[in-house]
Amino acid sequence: MRIENQQKQQMKKSIFTVLLSLIATVCIKSQPACNPKGDFSFTRNPCSAFDITYATNAAGFTNIRWQFGDGNTASGTISVNHTYATLGNYQVTLIVDYPSCSDTITKTISVAQQTDAQLIQTIDTLLCSGSTKQLRSTAGFVYCWSPTTFLDNPLSPNPITSTTQNITYYLNSLSLGANLITNGDFNLGNTGFTSQYFYTANNTTEGEYYVGNNPSSWYFAHFGCGDHTTGTGNMLLVNGSPQPDAEVWKTTVTVSPNTNYTFSTWICSISVPNPAKLAFSINGNAIGGLITASQPSCNWFQFYTTWNSGNATSAVISIINKNTILFGNDFALDDIFFSPFTFRRDSVKITVDKPAIISSANQTICAGKSVQLNRTGGTSYTWTPATGLSGTAIANPVASPLVTTEYYVTGTNANNCTGKDTVLITVNPLPVITVTADTSICENTSIQLSASGGSTYSWSPTGTLNDASLPNPIASPTLNTKYRVVVTSADGCINSDSVQVDIRTVNRFFADPAGAICLNNSRQLNAGGGDTYSWVPVGSLSNASLPNPIARPAVTTLYTVTITDTVCRTSANLSTTVTVNPLPVVTASKSNDIDCTSNISTLNATGAVSYSWSPGTGLSNTIIADPAANPADTTKYIVTGTDNNGCTNKDSVTVNVSATGKSQYLMPTAFTPNGDGINDCYGIRYWGAIQDLDFSIYNRWGELIFHTTSPSICWDGTYKGVKQDAAVFVYVVRAVTLCGEAYRKGTFALIR
């Protein structure tokens, strides 16, 4: 029954087609044919192989009719869209009635679609969830991807998909054949085409053109636009005239009958005013809409249209001017293309892999505790943040966060795809405990302990507590005891603290033993064992109520302190003696002053057992009682004497230095170095204070055997450790003394 209905429908359709053909024949015969005939173009919808838009530029007609070759017709419009039920070749007829003639154009239109497994270069792909994939296709003319879901530009040859689910994309594309236009990119110069405009290398007026790579070089007011393909190649530069239908560019190509062709060109404005308006013409018939150059300048726009050759074997292709405004209309053309095309279709399957990474359930822990995290669904894992984790690249790290933390796990499966999950670790704080401060109690007494901050309490040790579960039990220790309390919060978190309770021992009072000080010095007293202190006598103490006051008595004094234990209510009176030793009576004196005849003065101190002189300048020794003084200037020497008790006192003596009693700077004539302590050393004496000295001794052969620059050093009669025999020696002395310069040279005898 279904087959019979289909046959009936097909028969009706055939009859309807025949009737339409007869009607068209009658209409055509009713008027003579026009000469020349018009033409029509068609445009295939790249997103649907079955949708075609037919259009003609016919004007001034009285009636217009379309026959689509599948039994369907349309009339009254120069542009019509038609959707075919199936693919195939259809004989399409356009009938245009004019007042005096009728024009009929019939073409076989191929509504075909080729399945081309090479159209999409991208192979079926496994895509990780959350990532993107650029789909790539081979060269074509127009593109339409479907479905458009997750595509950034479904009309691009290479769109990017961000699909989150498995999907199959289909691509429809017009595939171009070889370009029939010679020198369509103008890189061969002014050849391969003709123009009704005048060719010139320097633009001066309208209706001129040039093949070059820089509009501003052709005319200074033009923009310096680059060509469409490379930006540096040639293009057709045009200063359009206001004459309509002038042929800007024209060429003739050979075509195959009943073949679909596409024509395209790229155009841009090279000046601001009055953008170009052009038309594409084949065999004298305008095809498609206007070719316009939009602003801004130097932006390239593509024009394209499709055409069926019908019975034609050649095509005169023209780009003609439609702009009638004088000013402006300056433009560039590039990459003119005319070729047969086919409608192709391909598909690609995108599979989305989203690993199901499942981590542990949310957890609650107490501060300071840990919990082990777990996961499933991957082969490797990364945890963040790293804070508080035993490891970030293991499957089951131990988490010990200090605060509430949400951990993120990224799992990677065998396909290297990743998935994510989270686990929240809530950290409850430990109870904040406030306890009794460490304290001490008297023997055989009790104290109430106290703790707060929790819900339950547990004290230990329990033996001396009245109730260990109370927050404030009574403690009755007999020994020093540390009580520990474990506090549990309402969240079940546990913290602990402790209280030290010491038993105060009775009669632990003490005072330091007696001591001694020197007159005018002080001593710190020290007592302990109690809470309050009271010293007497108070007159020489810094503070009589301190356990350690400073005592500064003028005479030996007995100090008594009353020490009280206010807790256990006991007290004691203790005493200590501070003995005050007198200061030694120190006296300083000198043997003489320094002048031109005496260069040394002997100081002397008495009244102590040890001494210290200052300043040390000019002294032979600063820590003896009788040092020799040889100052260069008058100097006051202060001596500090210390007795057997360590007490000190001071005195001073001034050694005057003057230039009186000028010396004759005499030298001894002999000396006897025999060790009897008399005249054992040969040197300078009685020259006064010497500021600079050069003292040399020579033997009979002129050999230097002694030299010094110190007035206190003399020759002991030896040379290189060998005692010299009795003989006569030569001395030379150069000195600067307090009383002037001195030079002496002479001889002396060494007597054995």
Distance CA 232, CA 253 (A): 28
Output the CA torsion 328→329→334→339 (10° steps): 170
Residue that has been written with the tokens 């819900």 in this structure: 455
CATH number of 670-750: 2.60.40
Residue 288: per-residue pLDDT: 85
Distance CA 160, CA 694 (A): 104
Residue 29: per-residue pLDDT: 43
> pLDDT tens for residues 410-454?
888 888 888 888 899 999 999 998 998 999 888 888 999 999 999
Q: Where residue 255 falls among pLDDT bands split at 50, 70, 90?
A: very high
CATH number of 510-581: 2.60.40.10
> pLDDT tens for residues 293-303?
888 899 999 99
Residue 663: per-residue pLDDT: 64
Using a pLDDT cut of 70, give the percent of the chain over it: 95
Six token digits for residue 290: 């206007």
- Decide if pLDDT at 615 tops 60: yes
Residue 5: per-residue pLDDT: 41
CATH: 3.40.50.620, 3.40.50.10540, 3.40.1030.10, 2.60.120.260. Which one for 115-354? 2.60.120.260
Residue 373: per-residue pLDDT: 85
Q: Which helix (H) or strand (E) holds 23?
A: helix 2-29
- Decide if pLDDT at 645 tops 60: yes
Q: Where residue 325 falls among pLDDT bands split at 50, 70, 90?
A: confident
C-beta atoms surrounding 66 within 10 Å: 22
Contacts of 372 (CB under 8 A, 6+ apart): 360, 396, 397, 398, 399
Mean pLDDT within 727-731? 93
What's 40's DSSP letter?
E
Comparing 213-222, 251-260, 306-315, 593-602, which segment has the lowest mean pLDDT?
593-602
Residue 559 contacts residue 525 (beta carbons within 8 Å): yes
Cis peptide before 473 (omega within 30 of 0): no
> pLDDT tens for residues 94-123?
999 999 899 999 999 989 888 888 888 999
Distance CA 223, CA 218 (A): 10
Comparing 68-77, 109-118, 222-231, 585-594, which segment has the lowest mean pLDDT?
109-118
Residue that has been written with the tokens 């040279």 in this structure: 745
Distance CA 238, CA 198 (A): 10
- Decide if pLDDT at 659 tops 90: no
What are the structural domain ranges in the chain?
2-111, 115-354, 355-422, 434-504, 510-581, 587-655, 670-750
Greatest alpha-carbon pair distance for the chain in Å reads 177
Distance CA 718, CA 711 (A): 18
Give just the sign of the alpha carbon dihedral 268, 269, 274, 278. Answer: negative
Using a pLDDT cut of 90, give the percent of the chain over it: 60
Comparing 87-96, 229-238, 412-421, which segment has the lowest mean pLDDT?
412-421
Euclidean distance between the first and the last CA atom of the chain, given in angstroms as a whole number: 170
Q: At the topology level of CATH, where does 587-655 sit?
A: Immunoglobulin-like (2.60.40)
Residue 661: per-residue pLDDT: 65
Distance CA 383, CA 515 (A): 73
> pLDDT tens for residues 369-409?
998 888 787 788 889 999 989 999 888 899 999 999 998 98
Q: Where residue 20 falls among pLDDT bands split at 50, 70, 90?
A: very low
Name the pairing type of β-strands 704-708 and 690-698.
Answer: antiparallel
Nearest to 170 by CA among 149, 191, 184, 195: 149
**Long-range CB pairs of 6-10, under 8 A, 24+ apart, other chains included:** none
- Decide if pLDDT at 622 tops 70: yes
Distance CA 359, CA 394 (A): 13
Distance CA 114, CA 175 (A): 10
Q: Do domains 434-504 and 670-750 have the same CATH topology?
A: yes
The beta strand positions in 510-666, using DSSP E, are: 510-511, 515-518, 523-524, 527-528, 532-536, 550-551, 557-565, 570-581, 587-590, 601-606, 610-614, 628-629, 635-642, 648-655
Distance CA 218, CA 210 (A): 8
Nearest to 584 by CA among 653, 517, 649: 649
C-beta atoms surrounding 442 within 10 Å: 15
Residue that has been written with the tokens 């000198």 in this structure: 590
Residue 528's beta-bridge partner residues? 510
Mean pLDDT value across the chain: 88
**Ramachandran region of residue 554, left (φ > 0), alpha (ψ -120 to 50) or beta?**
alpha
CATH number of 2-111: 2.60.40.10
CATH: 2.60.40.10, 3.40.50.10860, 1.10.3720.10, 1.10.10.60. Which one for 434-504? 2.60.40.10
- Decide if pLDDT at 292 tops 60: yes
Residue 419: per-residue pLDDT: 81
The CA–CA distances, whole Å, from 136 to 158, 162, 752 equal: 5, 14, 125
